[in-house]
Amino acid sequence: MSVIKSEDSKKWINSFVAVCSILVGYLVIKFLGQMGEWFDLEAKVKNFLMVSQGVGILFGLGTFIFVTKNVKAAGHMDEVYAELVKVVWPEKDNVVKSTIGIVIGVSIISGLFVAVDFLFRKLLELAY
């Protein structure tokens, strides 16, 4: 059963690009804030916080516009979405059973590692 419908492609692609653009803006703001701390830009640039936030917003907006207007990027996003629509998601009970199996398997293997570690520690204590 596919959760995603093919007729919702533009909505989901624009949402994805918007979230990525917000992330770009946030990272630019954080980067400029760190640069401000390193080089004491708060004292040198008037209203540094407002300037860095404005630059971050401009970078985020520029990213959104660039990606949505770029023909190659839009085509690639459409192809990715078309492939994502084809994905068949597993049922909940299959996921739960697989997860329980993995947790049990990892527990057994980690128990073996603990036992081997304990054994080697005791052997080394006897030797030294």
| Helical segments of the chain, H only | 9-39, 41-44, 48-69, 71-85, 92-127
What local confidence, expressed as pLDDT, does residue 87 receive? Answer: 87
The contacts of residue 35 (CB under 8 Å, 6+ apart) are 41
Count of Cβ atoms closer than 10 Å to residue 118 Cβ: 10
Q: How far is CA 118 from CA 67, 113, 127, in A?
A: 56, 8, 14
Torsion angle in degrees (nearest 10) through CA of 62, 28, 51, 60: 20
Q: Tokens standing for 47?
A: 């209203």
What local confidence, expressed as pLDDT, does residue 2 receive? Answer: 55
Q: pLDDT truncated to tens, each residue of the chain (128 aa)?
A: 556 677 788 899 999 999 999 999 999 999 999 999 999 999 999 999 999 999 999 999 999 999 999 999 999 999 999 898 888 889 999 999 999 999 999 999 999 999 999 999 999 999 88
Q: Tokens standing for 66?
A: 């660039």
What local confidence, expressed as pLDDT, does residue 3 receive? Answer: 64
Distance CA 59, CA 38 (A): 22
Q: Tokens standing for 43?
A: 């004292």
Q: Tokens standing for 9?
A: 């492609």
Each residue of 27-38: b (16+ CB within 10 Å) or e? Answer: ebbeebbeebee
